[in-house]
Structure 1
Amino acid sequence: MHAPHDPGHHHDHGHGSSHQHGPSPGSSTRAFATVTLVNLAYTVLEAGYGFLTNSLALLSDALHNLGDVLGLALAWGAAAMAQWPATERHTYGWRRATLLSPLANATLLVGLSGALAWEALRRLSAPPELPGMTIVVVATIGIAVNLGSALLVQGGHGHDLNRRGAYLHLLADAAISLATVVAGIGMLAWGWTWLDPATALLVGVVVAVGAARLLRDSFDAAMDAVPTGIDQAAVRTFLAAQAGVDSVHHVHIWSLGAGEVAMTAHLVRPSGDDDDRFLHDLGASLAARFGIGHATLQVERSGAACGGHEHDGGVPARE
C-alpha cells in the first residue's frame, strides 16, 4: 500500500494491495461450460419425453431447465468476461458482468414461472392420462444431473453472486425433479393424474420465489449496494478504532463482481509519520476480517477539507 504525501492538502491516499478471491477464473469458466452443456443435453432429453408422453410435469420442468440453461450460458459468458483485462476505458475490467448476468437470469425465470403456472391451472380441470414410470425415470435422471451440476459450481458461491445464482437454481431444479418423481409414483400407484399439473404449478411457484430473491440481490449489486455478509457499521467502527484515527467518513462498500469487494473511506488522522505502514496494515486487516480486497483509503489531517462528516454518517473514534 502506498501513501504519497500532499503537503498542500494534508492528506494521503492508500490503496489496498491484499485481495481475496474465490476459485480461479479459469476453473469458474470450465465449471460453467460443463454444467451448461450437461444441462442442455438433459433438457433436450426431458423435453423429448415430455412431448412423447404429453406430460406437463416433464414439459414444465424442461422449460424451466431451458431457462436455467440460458441463465447458465449467461453465467458462463460473464465468468469468461470477468477474465478480460482492464483497459483505459474499463479500468476495473469486466468483472461486473458477473453481476449483470444473474439480473438477466432472474428476469427470464420470472417470465417462465408465469407461463408454467398458467398452463398448470388450465390443465387441472382435465388432466390427461400419463405413463408414470417414464416420468419417474426421466425425473430421477434430472435429480442426478442437477445435484452433480450444483457440486461443480459450489465453490465460492457464498461470495460470488454469479455462482450463487447458478448454484441455487440447480438445487431448486433437483428439488423440483424430486417432486416430479413423487408425482410419477402417485400416478403409478393410485392413478392420480391431477398430480401432473399440480406438480407443474408447484414448479412455477418455486421458480417465482427463487427468481424474486435473485432479482432483488442482483439488482442491489448492480446498484452498488453493500454486499450481503458485510456489516458497514462494523467496518466503520473498526476503522474508527484504529490508532490515531479521530473520525471516519465517506465510507462506500460495493461489489466489483467475480467475488471481489471494493471500499473507499476517508480517515481523519491529525498526526502520524507512519501513514504508509498504517495503510498497508489496515488494508490487510480489512481483507482478512471483512473480505474487502480492494480498499482505497484516504488519510486527512483535518476533516474540514471535505465539509465535515455528519452528512454521510461519519463515525468519531473512540476515546
Structure 2
Amino acid sequence: MSKQELSAWHDDHSFGQDQKRPGEMRTIIVIAITLTMMVVEIVAGQVYDSMALLADGLHMGSHAAALTISVFAYIYARRYAHDTWYSFGTGKVNALGGFSGALLLGVFSLLMVWESVHRMLDPVEISFNQAILVAVVGLVVNALCAMVLGHSHDHGDGSSCSHDHDHNLKAAYLHVLADALTSVLAIAALLAGKFWGWAILDPVIGIVGAVVVARWSVSLLRSTSDVLLDRQATDHVLGRIRSAIEDDDHNVVDLHVWSIGPGMYATEIIIVSSNPVSPGEFKKMLPDDLSIAHAAVEVHHRESGVGAAN
C-alpha cells in the first residue's frame, strides 16, 4: 500500500490547536490597554511627584507581564501544533500558561499581605483624594478589560469555549478581576479613612483582598494541575462513555479519559464482548458532545481471548 493510501488512516494530532483562539486577540487588547494606563500613571506620577500613581503604574506593569505569558502560550501552541514531538498536540500549553498565571496570582496575594502588614506596623500618611482618584481610574480600566475578555467565546464552528476550558484565558481574566477587586476594596477603605478617619481599614481590607485572590489562585492551580498531570475525567464523562458502549454483549473493562487541550479529551478503552464488532464501530458509539478528539479502542472476544485494536 502506498504512503498516499496509508495517509488516509493517519490522524492529525494538532486537534485544532493550529487555529487562532478568540482569547488570544482579546488578551492582546487587554495588554495594550494595561500598558497604556501604566505609561500614563508613571508619567503623571513623575510630573506630580505622586508615589500613589507611580506604585499603581508599576502594579499595572506587573499584570501586563503576566498577561504576556498568556499570549505567548497561545502563540506557541499554534506555532507548534503540528510538531510531532507532541504526542497529542500542544493543547496542554494552554493549561501550562494558566498554571503560570495562577502562580503569579499567588505571588501577588503574598505581596498584598506583606504590604498590608507593613502598613499596619508602620502607618504612613495617605493622600486620600489622589489615592481615591487612582483607585477609581484603575477600577474603570479593569472593568473595561473584563468586558473585553468576556465570559465565553465562540470558536467559529458553533462550539463554545468557556473559562473552565481555556485555562489560559481564565488566568488572564482572574488577573483582571484581582486588579478590579483591589480597586473596589481600596476605594471603600480610602473613603472610610477620608470621612471617618478609619485609616486602619486600608491595610485590613488589603489582607481581605489577598485572601480572595489566593483562593482564586489555588482553584486555578488545581484545575490546571489536573490537565497537566493527566487526571482521569469526571465520573459523569466516564459514565457517559460506559453507558454508550455497554450492554448485554459488550463490557468496558478498562477506561482512561484525560484532557489534551481546552474542552478536548483523549481516551483509551478496552472492551470485552461475546459478539464483538470492529474498534471503529465502537468509536462511532462515543457521544459527540464529549469532544473526544482521539480514541484508542481495543476489543477482545469474551470466549477466545483474541483481541483487535484501533
Query: Structures share a fold, TM > 0.5?
Result: yes
Q: Which of 191, 194, 201 pairs up with 2:207?
A: 201
Distance in 2 of aligned mates of 1:117 and 1:277: 57
Q: Which of 98, 101, 118 pairs up with 1:102?
A: 98
Distance in 2 of aligned mates of 1:64 and 1:250: 50
Q: Which residue of structure 1 aligns with residue 269 of structure 2?
A: 265
Matched, 1:252 2:256: yes
Show the 5 A alignment for 1:68-83. Answer: 68-83=63-78
CA contact 2:252–2:271 (8 Å) conserved in 1: yes
- Per the TM alignment, residue 296 of structure 1 is displaced from its structure 2 partner at its CA by 0.7
Matched, 1:296 2:295: yes
Q: Which residue of structure 1 aligns with residue 112 of structure 2?
A: 116
- Per the TM alignment, residue 278 of structure 1 is displaced from its structure 2 partner at its CA by 4.7
- Per the TM alignment, residue 109 of structure 1 is displaced from its structure 2 partner at its CA by 2.5
RMSD, aligned α-carbons: 3.4
What is the one-letter code of the residue matched to 2:24? Answer: T
Secondary structure class of the residue paired with 1:226: coil
- Per the TM alignment, residue 100 of structure 1 is displaced from its structure 2 partner at its CA by 0.8
**Runs of 5+ unmatched residues, structure 1:** 1-13, 307-319
Q: Which residue of structure 1 aligns with residue 159 of structure 2?
A: none
- Per the TM alignment, residue 181 of structure 1 is displaced from its structure 2 partner at its CA by 1.3
Distance in 2 of aligned mates of 1:180 and 1:161: 28
Q: Which of 21, 24, 40 pairs up with 1:29?
A: 24
Secondary structure class of the residue paired with 2:297: strand
Cα deviation digits, residues 191-228 of structure 1 (max 9, x gap): 3322332233233222222212222222222101135x
Q: Which of 22, 42, 67 pairs up with 2:37?
A: 42
- Per the TM alignment, residue 297 of structure 1 is displaced from its structure 2 partner at its CA by 4.0
Q: Which residue of structure 2 aligns with residue 163 of structure 1?
A: 169
The sequence identity of aligned pairs, in percent, is: 24
Structure-2 change in CA distance of 1:254 and 1:45 (3 Å): farther
- Per the TM alignment, residue 140 of structure 1 is displaced from its structure 2 partner at its CA by 1.9
Structure-2 change in CA distance of 1:126 and 1:177 (3 Å): same
Higher relative contact order structure (alpha carbons within 8 Å, sequence separation ≥ 6) = 1
Distance in 2 of aligned mates of 1:46 and 1:245: 70
TM-score (ref. length: structure 1)? 0.74
Q: Which residue of structure 2 aligns with residue 178 of structure 1?
A: 184
Cα deviation digits, residues 76-114 of structure 1 (max 9, x gap): 111122222312322433221111112222222322322
TM-score (ref. length: structure 2)? 0.76
Distance in 2 of aligned mates of 1:226 and 1:244: 26
